[in-house]
Amino acid sequence: MTAETTGSRETGADGARWAPGSHILWRYRDNGGGHVHICRPVTVVRDTDDLLAVWMAPGTECVKPVLADGTPVHEEPLATRYTAPRTTVRTRWAGTGVLKLARPDEPWSVWLFWERGWRFRSWYVNLEEPRTRWAGGVDSEDHFLDISVYPDRTWLWRDEDEFAQAQRIGLMDPAQARRVREAGQAAVDVIRAWGRPFADGWEDWRPDPRWTVPELPGDWDRTPARTAP
């Protein structure tokens, strides 16, 4: 897949940047296996040396993991949530869209959520492997632990139970778990200082009404030739 733009194409390879309006894939590999199990087509908002910002529109067709019988992963008891057989399904993103912000080499991305009518709800700090760029988008691996941040600048940890379970079953060794905790604390330090991107006014951003919803390609899980983060 090549990145689609209005009037031009950019691959994101060899230091090239995607133009606003480009369609790329934001993907996550499963923990331990390395296979892509989450894929979300997004539209590039900004791509610079210090920030990649993308928009996932309402109704976007995505790929997500489910249990082998089709049961949503979050409905499986925690004890077997990461050991029960899984598959992937195509589905539509429900609810409002999501703005995702990621700085190179940072082990997290920050997502913005709105209620209907563009009433800003919260930021979500998704702890993850620093993204790897390839011609059609970016790849990462989720690190289970997350942080919700609210407009009044309060915050709270999310999914600590899943983070602990991932360690118990060997999806994350003690050294990696320690690095994730350190990354989470670094993110909390940014929140407490109200640094970027929280102070940058992204909650007032709106998508270009001319943008179309990206399509999910048939080869969404192909192995890319990777480039720099």
User: In percent, how much of the chain has pLDDT > 90?
Assistant: 88
Identify the band that residue 189 occupies on the pLDDT scale cut at 50, 70 and 90.
very high
Domain segments of the chain as ranges: 23-204
Average pLDDT over residues 214-224: 93
pLDDT in tens, 50-87: 999 999 999 999 999 999 999 999 999 999 999 999 99
Average pLDDT, the chain: 92
Contact 221, 48 (CB under 8 A): no
pLDDT of residue 4: 41
Identify the band that residue 2 occupies on the pLDDT scale cut at 50, 70 and 90.
very low
pLDDT of residue 95: 85
- Environment class of 209 (CB within 10 Å of its CB; exposed 0-12, middle 13-18, buried 19+): exposed
Rounded Cα–Cα distance for residues 58 and 22 (Å):
17
Instruction: Tell me the one-letter amino acid at 5.
Output: T
pLDDT of residue 111: 98
pLDDT of residue 5: 37
**Of 190, 160, 198, nearest to 177 (Cα)?**
160
* pLDDT over threshold 70, residue 6: no
Rounded Cα–Cα distance for residues 127 and 36 (Å):
17
pLDDT of residue 75: 96
**Of 182, 194, 114, nearest to 153 (Cα)?**
194
Contact 57, 97 (CB under 8 A): yes
pLDDT of residue 8: 32
Rounded Cα–Cα distance for residues 183 and 196 (Å):
15
Task: Answer yes or no: CATH 2.40.380.10 is held by domain 23-204.
Answer: yes
pLDDT in tens, 113-168: 999 999 999 999 999 999 999 999 999 999 999 999 999 999 999 999 999 999 99
pLDDT of residue 80: 96
CA atoms within 13 A on the CB side of 98: 20
Rounded Cα–Cα distance for residues 108 and 100 (Å):
11
Contact 64, 41 (CB under 8 A): no
Q: How many other β-carbons are positioned within 10 Å of the β-carbon of residue 198? A: 21
Comparing 93-97, 152-156, 176-180, the range with the smallest average pLDDT is: 93-97
H/E stretch holding 175 reads helix 174-193
| Cis preceding-peptide flag for 197 (omega within 30 of 0) | yes
Q: Which two tokens stand for residue 112?
A: 């913005």
